[in-house]
């Protein structure tokens, strides 16, 4: 009896996701021994010869030279003796069914290739064509694709050789992979013709402007069924329990955020905030904490017996993550300086994006903000995070006509929406709170109070 075994591409270098087939050392029909070199591959780190883990007769080479194969996908199939050590074996035990099995695995591999791979080092492959990495770098465009990142004065123009490889340090390659930036399409501005962090960030920004313009094709199935479990189930339960426990009341106010935007710009330029992300959300958070101090009832918890008014702020920020909506909070955010808060927000977002938010991060929140403006909408009626009595929605901030001194001017305008638990927060408190937040957005200098 014999059976079909597969040799799947291993991760030969601590965290690699793929490798390119450089050359095959065997062909179908060849008899191979244990540890006989069957293929030479090139990873992001090195050229590597792969020894066969089993003895047998090669049935099929499951990728062509020049192809890029994902780690875990089969390289070869072979007929091996029953009981052979080292064989990843399909259930197809007889040679007669071997071809079907191979075809099936090959189809899986082909399907996998169509996915946009998460690459370390080589950017994102063209999802429309076969996954085949170019041997030489792509000719850089004549005009830098990175807006707003001029070469530092005094630097010589970087010669770009169309024949050279893409030059980028490993962290930059990682960043590019994370952001889905194809390094071969980025114009380098580094001293040695290397791609810098700014080049990648600029390119990612450029890409994001156009990201939503393509409409995906309609799926062929009439409906898709997504199991309700995990985070989605937790979201559903929390929303239902919140909406049907606390009587919600929402109010809105339009506000001129021009000065806030100028303030954000100045903070971004200041050396103290160098390397820290500054966004209108930061000012909004500060504004809310200022308003909480003037209206403490919005920072409370309602229980059957009592209302607990918190004299600290665990500031929740709703975050959209790949696994769904979560609301981690920044503990004692009211004690933080502007810089500390900015760093804490950045950290919270990064942790959430990586899916590393812990239950402790999400516990004991006292008030929440949801930044729906980043999705381009004006406002909404948010649902309370269970255990809290107020949530604020920050809408998009954009130029709009605004009346100033009886004249229409173009100002940066946004809408602040907020929802309160009416069991705790009455209309007057709610209105004063929202008005206070709005006044800081209109004049951030109030924070100096």
Partner 1 sequence: MNENDSVPMVQMLSPEGEFAVPKNYAEYGSYIERLTEEDFLKFYRDMARCRRFDNEATALQRQGQLGLWIPAIGQEAAQIGSGYGVGHGDHIFPSYREHGVAITHGIELMSILKMLRGVNHGGWNPEETRFHLYGIVLGSQVLHATGYAMGVKFDGKVNTGNKADDLAVISYFGDGATAEGDVSESFLFAANTQSPIVFFCQNNQWAISSPTASQTRVPLYRRGEGFGVPGIRIDGNDVLASYAVTAKHMDDARAGAGPFMIEALTYRIGAHTTSDDPTKYRSDEEVAYWTARDPLKRFEIFLRRQGIGEDFFEEVAEAGEKLATEIREATFALKNPDMEDMFKHVYSQPHPVIDEQLDWLKRYEASFGGEN
Q: Which is nearer to partner 1, 14 or 224 (CB)?
A: 14
Q: CB-based contacts of 258: which residues, under 8 Å, 6+ apart?
A: 411, 412
Helix (H, G, I), strand (E, B) or coil at 346: helix
Q: Report the C-alpha gap between 246 and 430 in whole angstroms.
A: 15
Interacting residues of 128 by C-beta distance below 8 A, sequence separation 6+: none
If you compute the radius of gyration of the chain from its CA atoms, what whole number of angstroms results? 28
- Kindly state the smallest distance separating residue 117's Cβ from partner 1, in Å: 18
Q: Supply 436's token pair.
A: 């206070």
For partner 1, give the closer residue by CB, 57 or 362.
362
Residues 99, 248, 310, 422: which is the catalytic one? Answer: 422
CB of 16 to partner 1, least distance (A): 9
Task: Quote the least distance from Cβ 233 to partner 1, whole Å.
Answer: 8
Residue number, 50 or 344, with CB nearest to partner 1:
50
Residue with smaller CB distance to partner 1, 19 or 125: 19
* CA–CA gap between residue 136 and residue 122 (Å, rounded): 12
Structural contact between residues 180 and 124, judged by C-beta atoms closer than 8 angstroms:
yes
Angle in degrees, CA 292, 295, 300, rounded to 5 = 70
Token digits of residue 361 = 């991060």
From CA 94, how far away is CA 77, in angstroms rounded? 13
Comparing CB distances to partner 1, the nearer of 47 and 139 is: 47
CB 239 within 8 A of CB 383: yes
- Minimum CB separation of residue 6 from partner 1 in Å reads 11
Please identify, using beta-carbon distances, which residue of 194 and 198 lies nearer to partner 1.
194
Q: Which helix (H) or strand (E) element contains residue 344?
A: helix 338-353
Cβ at position 10, least distance to partner 1 in Å:
3
- Work out whether the CA dihedral 72, 75, 76, 77 comes out positive or negative: positive
Closest approach of partner 1 to the CB of residue 326, in Å = 11
What angle do helix axes 427-442 and 258-269 make, rounded to 10 degrees?
A: 50
Name the residues that contact partner 1, by CB under 8 A: 7-14, 34-35, 45-53, 85-86, 229-231, 233, 323, 358-359
Pairing state between β 315-317 and 329-330 = antiparallel
Least distance between partner 1 and beta carbon 361 (Å): 11
Q: Minimal CA–CA distance to 57: which of 26, 88, 17?
A: 26
What six digits make up the tokens of 111? 């399907």
Q: Alpha-carbon distance 374 to 25, whole Å? A: 53
**Cβ proximity to partner 1, 185 vs 323, nearer residue:** 323
Is-contact 397 257, C-beta < 8 A? yes
Instruction: Decide if 155 is catalytic.
Output: no
CA–CA dist 444, 260 (Å, integer): 6
User: Would you name the residues annotated as active-site residues?
Assistant: 422
């Amino acid at each position: 009896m014999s059976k079909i075994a597969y040799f799947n591409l291993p991760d030969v270098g601590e965290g690699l996701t793929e490798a390119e087939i450089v050359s095959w050392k065997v062909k179908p029909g060849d008899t191979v021994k244990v540890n006989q070199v069957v293929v030479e591959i090139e990873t992001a780190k090195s050229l590597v010869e792969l020894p066969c883990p089993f003895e047998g007769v090669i049935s099929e080479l499951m990728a062509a030279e020049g192809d890029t194969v994902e780690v875990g996908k089969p390289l070869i199939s072979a007929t091996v003796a029953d009981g052979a050590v080292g064989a990843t074996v399909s259930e197809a035990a007889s040679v007669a069914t071997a071809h079907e099995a191979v075809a099936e695995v090959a189809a899986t591999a082909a399907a996998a290739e169509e996915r946009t791979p998460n690459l370390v080092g080589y950017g994102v492959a063209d999802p429309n064509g076969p996954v085949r990495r170019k041997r030489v770098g792509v000719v850089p465009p004549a005009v830098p694709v990175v807006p707003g990142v001029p070469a530092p004065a005094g630097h010589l123009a970087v010669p770009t050789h169309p024949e050279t490889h893409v030059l980028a340090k490993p962290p930059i390659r990682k960043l590019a992979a994370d952001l889905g930036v194809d390094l071969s399409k980025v114009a380098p501005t580094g001293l040695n013709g290397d791609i810098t962090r700014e080049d990648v960030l600029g390119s990612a920004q450029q890409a994001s402007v156009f990201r939503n313009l393509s409409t995906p094709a309609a799926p062929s199935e009439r409906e898709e069924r997504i199991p309700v479990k995990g985070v989605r189930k937790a979201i559903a339960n929390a929303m239902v329990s919140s909406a049907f426990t606390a009587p919600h009341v929402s109010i809105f106010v339009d506000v001129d955020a021009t000065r806030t935007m100028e303030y954000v710009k100045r903070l971004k330029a200041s050396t103290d905030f160098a390397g820290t992300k500054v966004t209108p959300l930061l000012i909004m958070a500060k504004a809310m904490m200022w308003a909480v101090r003037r209206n403490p009832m919005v920072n409370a918890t309602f229980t059957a017996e009592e209302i607990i008014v918190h004299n600290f702020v665990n500031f929740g920020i709703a975050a959209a993550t790949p696994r769904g909506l979560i609301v981690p909070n920044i503990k004692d955010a009211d004690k933080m300086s502007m810089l500390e808060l900015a760093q804490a927000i950045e950290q919270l977002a990064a942790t959430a994006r990586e899916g590393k938010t812990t239950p402790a991060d999400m516990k004991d929140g006292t008030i929440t903000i949801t930044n729906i403006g980043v999705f381009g909408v004006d406002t909404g009626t948010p649902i309370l995070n269970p255990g809290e009595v107020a949530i604020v929605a920050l809408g998009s901030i954009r130029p709009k006509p605004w009346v100033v001194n009886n004249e229409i001017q173009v100002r940066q305008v946004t809408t602040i929406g907020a929802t309160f638990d009416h069991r705790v927060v009455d209309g007057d408190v709610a209105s004063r709170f929202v008005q206070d937040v709005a006044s800081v957005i209109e004049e951030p200098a109030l924070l100096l109070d």
